[in-house]
Amino acid sequence: MAPVINTIAHDSAITSITCVTGQHRAMLDQVLDLFGIVPDFDLAVMAPNQTLNSLSCRVITGLDDVLDRARPDYVLVHGDTTSAMAASLAAFHRGIKIGHVEAGLRTYDLSKPWPEEMNRRVIDVVSSIAFAPTATSASNLHGEHLGGRVIVTGNTVIDALKETVGRIHDDTALRNMLESRFSFIAPPAGCFWSPVTGVRVSVMVSSIYAGVWQDWLSVMTWKLSIRSTSIRMYPGPYTSCSAI
């Protein structure tokens, strides 16, 4: 979502605000710093031993106050998290139009992945504009006759990755640091490697390893200078993939 936020922020025709839930604080702060994003609102919803119901309640309640104060024309939500679903409901209940970034992903099995498959269906149902990453995702949306406008935009994860790779190219100090940190990445001559991002259900990754993975993926893409592929993988017989 970072490339979208930054692009909108530089459009004089649009007044935008950024609201974060505060989930996964260490990873969130790392990404915000990387892309130079300063949130206007931070809901700080994380709590010990929280349930999906308690999280949904805090997101809806917290965002309702933000929506009351900001009175936006549109609310953009990204992905299929519980917080994204709750945010879309908060906007819908106030009669505010919703744009869903990364819309139309489907397995058509509510248990794979759970609860993301339900979350993204709910978001798409209440969205006025569905920004689909692929033609397949757009086809899913058209087949469900939801009534909203569907636009194929590509994957914002790839936009973010390309932006990061460009930053590595332009920043000698950063490039040298990453070269030293990831010197073990040396693809054999003539080999074609493709970085892959995967989302697995019920697997928790610490912020430290997540940060290392993010850096490694960017460096690998930069070193190999290849077309990136983003794949979302779900356990079981259903797999949904998006390639840019």
Which tens digit of pLDDT belongs to each residue from 73-106?
Answer: 999 999 999 999 999 999 999 999 999 999 999 9
The bridge status of strand 196-197 relative to strand 229-232 is parallel
Residues near 114 by beta carbon (within 8 Å), at least 6 away in sequence: 201
Of 84, 25, 48, the residue nearest 211 (C-alpha)? 25
Q: What is the pLDDT of residue 184?
A: 73
The answer, yes or no, to whether residue 39 has pLDDT greater than 90, is yes
What value does the mean pLDDT of the chain take?
81
Determine contact, residues 198/229, Cβ cutoff 8 Å. no
CB atoms within 10 A of CB 210: 16
Which tens digit of pLDDT belongs to each residue from 104-119?
Answer: 999 999 999 999 999 9
Q: What is the pLDDT of residue 31?
A: 86
Q: What is the pLDDT of residue 42?
A: 93
Q: What is the pLDDT of residue 207?
A: 38
Q: What is the pLDDT of residue 188?
A: 66
- Domain definitions of the chain by residue range: 2-152, 156-237
Q: What is the pLDDT of residue 178?
A: 82
List the single range of 22-31, 63-72, 136-145 with lowest mean pLDDT: 22-31
Q: What is the pLDDT of residue 199?
A: 55
Q: What is the pLDDT of residue 158?
A: 87
Q: What is the mean pLDDT of residues 25-53?
A: 89
The answer, yes or no, to whether residue 56 has pLDDT greater than 60, is yes
Please name the fold of domain 2-152. Rossmann fold (3.40.50)
Which tens digit of pLDDT belongs to each residue from 177-206?
Answer: 888 887 777 666 666 666 565 554 433 333
